[in-house]
Amino acid sequence: MRPPRLRRTTRRPRRSSRSRNERKPTPTVTVGQENSADIEIHYFDHGAGQPVVLIRGYSLSGRAWDKQVPALLEVCYRVITYDRRGFGQSSQPAVGYDTFAADLAALMEHLDLHDAAPHDPDTTVLIIDSNPTSAPPPIPAPVTGPEFYPGAVYRINIDTDGDAHADVAFTFVFSEYEDGRQTGTAWYATGPEARQPGPVGEVLAQGIPVSFDGTARPVLAGRVRLFTGLRSDPFFADVEGALHGFQWTGHDDFADNNVDSIALEVPRGMFGGPVIGVWASISRRRSDGTLEQLDRGGNPTINPVINPDGEKNLFNSRQPADDVANYLQPWTEILKNAGGYSPDQARAAALQVLPDILRYDRTVPAAYPNGRGLTDAVYNVRYALLSNGKIPPSGLKPHDDLLDRFPYLGPPHP
């Protein structure tokens, strides 16, 4: 296969008497010798942050990555590409080409990349959205601005052993909102620390800028890629139709909505096994300094759809480990009455979402209820559960402003 053509986006200045050979040379690392000549590997090293080594197959130079490198630099990676022995600007010895692993090891040793590896796509993206800027009736209109609530504790909790308790936690606290600016601090906790309600553990990053202008510039927080800011709400639902006997109107009540988003891209080594359970929570400090949990959720639309109005705040204040004891019996009755389930069927349906933890087997592509994608029609799934499949889908489509790269959420609406 021939290498791709490179299209220039700017005109090269006209050369005068300067020779082509006077261009700044690319750096090299010596990986061997052929007679009296060094065998050199030419490489390109750009950016700063977590190192990513891009490797091409046989007969292609590192320039074949030219279209991918800018996207990786934009999201704060240090990007290393190189010409394999015999190709591009690297040496072309007559023999000795069974050296791919050794040449790569020499390059990584030369660049002191002992804590790096070739790019591993096995990462998990976690997103928590809060503080919607608008809400359909009968939900009261919000009274806050676009910022995260200062001093509140935003948490993403991960259960790695199936006991409905957090074994890993990512915690965020944000500053006051002043002159259109806000910053945050991120913590990472494991083991018993992950079950404490406050911000504890390793500080991943401080002074994280919150984006309000639509720019998406992630930062590296230790091993995690992180974004915080105002984004377009990916949720889509026909609330008006649900309030009027499920006569769908075709109107997406969230189409122009914005949310405050925290997005993380986490390497697999920070979770342990392949199967995890995830839920988010938000707590606010009382006047005496103690934390009051005001919101939590794992499976989408559980509390708003299933719990009666008088129970929603109580549900938000509780922990998933207590959900089966607190809600299996009442939710079984609700499902029996709403969907015409038999008692055993209703109990089994309730246990699909109890405890309220989003389960995700990372060996299988994410699609609700195995994890959740931004285009999953979770509103349809929830009403199908409630009605035993009697309520048809709303027909709404996912939003078309999603990005094809991290943080994936679209820019905020004006």
Q: What does pTM read for this prediction?
A: 0.74
Say which residues have a Cβ less than 8 Å from residue 323's Cβ, sequence separation at least 6.
164, 354, 355, 356
Written as tens digits, the pLDDT of the chain (414 aa) is: 322 322 233 333 334 444 434 445 679 999 888 888 899 989 999 987 778 888 766 556 788 888 888 878 876 678 899 988 888 888 888 887 767 777 887 888 898 875 554 444 578 999 999 987 665 555 566 656 789 999 999 999 999 999 999 999 999 999 999 999 999 999 999 999 999 999 999 999 999 999 999 988 888 887 888 999 999 999 999 999 999 999 999 999 999 999 999 999 998 889 878 999 999 999 999 999 999 999 999 999 999 999 999 999 999 999 999 999 999 999 999 999 999 999 999 999 999 999 999 999 988 888 999 999 999 999 999 999 999 999 999 999 999 999 988 899 999 999
Distance of CA 266 to the CA centre of its chain: 7
Q: Which H, E and C letters describe the chain, residue by residue?
A: CCCCCCCCCCCCCCCCCCCHHHCCCCCEEEEEEECCEEEEEEEEEECCCEEEEECCCCCCCHHHHCCCHHHHHHCCEEEEEECCCCCCCCCCCCCCCCCHHHHHHHHHHHCCCCCCCECCCCEEEEEEEECCCCCCCCCCCCCCCCCCCCCCEEEEEEECCCCCCCCEEEEEEECCCECCECEEEEEEEEHHHHHCCCCCCEEEEEEEECECCCCCCCEEECCEEEEEEEEECCCCCCHHHHHCCCCCCCCCCCCCCEEEEEEEEEEHHHCCCCEEEEEEEEEEECCCCCEEEEEEECCCCHHHHHCCHHHHHHHHHCCHHHHHHHHHHHHHHHHHHHHCCCHHHHHHHHHCCCCCCEEEECCCCCECCECCCCCCCHHHHHHHHHHCCCCCCCCCCCCCCCCCCCCCCCCCCC
